[in-house]
């Protein structure tokens, strides 16, 4: 009889690895040592949302930019503050640790996005196959069997950030597909790059905490401003 507990074992090992990385290895030290840079980038991303993204979506008459504690239900507040950041980090940046043993978790991201945006599935699969073939080619050629190359990491980070941005297309109700793609890219791509940086430098736990803090900050500022 085939045992089916191996996915649970792999996922458990991954989370133990990430928790150990954040709390016991150099990552927690680096987090506090680089807090000035992280806080600066956090402030830039937050300001970008209010100074660039909000005027853009106002111009197109898109609702939702002013979501706040005043006009959202308790359920939506909890989802926005906690569940969405955890879910999105695990889907889109889980595999971006730089380690080979985590890289094939990219398949979760591909499957999720292809189901959510099935009209783009063929293009996503094409680009995904190219990236996975690059990974396999590296496995066959590189002596280092621990880390992926910087080139593959950067390409994967860009790919993941594009998917993260375009996964929000459903929230953008405009007539032109081109405008929808542009708004999604402008609104979500910079934040995705920032969170990818946090994920790679400090681990998935740090990325989740940063994403939660970013969403909470936006809601609180929206409550004050709007």
**Would you write out the chain's pLDDT as a tens digit for each of its 226 residues?**
445 565 556 666 666 666 666 665 555 566 666 678 888 899 999 999 999 999 999 988 887 767 878 888 899 999 999 999 999 999 999 899 888 888 988 988 888 888 888 888 888 889 999 999 999 888 777 655 688 999 999 999 999 999 999 988 888 878 888 888 999 999 999 999 999 999 998 888 889 999 999 999 999 998 898 8
Domain contains 21: no
Q: In this structure, is residue 18 part of a structural domain?
A: no
Residue 116 lies inside a defined structural domain of this protein: yes
- Angstrom distance (rounded) from CA 189 to CA 20: 29
Residue 65: inside a domain? yes
Establish if 51 belongs to a structural domain: yes
Those residues with Cβ within 8 angstroms of residue 48's Cβ, 6 or more apart along the chain or in another chain: 190
Q: Is residue 58 part of a domain?
A: yes
Domain that includes residue 121, residue range: 29-225
- Number of structural domains (the chain) is 1
pTM of the entire predicted model: 0.85
Q: Is 149 a domain residue?
A: yes
Residue 10 lies in a domain: no
Q: How many residues does the chain have?
A: 226
CA 75, CA 32: separation in Å to the nearest integer?
33
């Amino acid at each position: 009889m085939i045992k089916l507990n191996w996915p649970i074992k792999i996922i458990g090992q991954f989370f133990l690895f990430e928790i150990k990385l954040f709390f016991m290895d150099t990552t927690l030290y680096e987090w506090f040592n680089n807090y000035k840079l992280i806080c600066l980038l956090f402030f830039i991303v937050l300001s970008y949302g209010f100074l660039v993204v909000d005027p853009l979506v106002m111009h197109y008459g898109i609702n939702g930019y002013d979501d706040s504690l005043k006009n959202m239900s308790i359920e939506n507040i909890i989802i926005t503050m906690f569940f969405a950041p955890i879910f999105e980090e695990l889907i889109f940046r889980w595999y971006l640790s730089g380690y080979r043993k985590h890289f094939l978790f990219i398949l979760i991201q591909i499957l999720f996005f292809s189901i959510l945006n099935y009209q783009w599935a063929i293009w996503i699969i094409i680009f995904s196959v190219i990236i996975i073939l690059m990974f396999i080619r590296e496995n066959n050629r590189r002596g280092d069997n621990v880390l992926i190359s910087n080139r593959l990491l950067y390409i994967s980070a860009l790919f993941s950030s594009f998917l993260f941005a375009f996964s929000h297309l459903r929230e953008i109700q405009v007539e032109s597909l081109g405008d929808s793609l542009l708004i999604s890219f402008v609104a979500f791509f910079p934040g995705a790059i920032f969170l990818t940086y946090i994920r790679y430098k400090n681990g998935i736990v740090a990325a989740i905490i940063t994403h939660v803090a970013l969403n909470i900050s936006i809601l609180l500022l929206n409550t004050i401003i709007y």
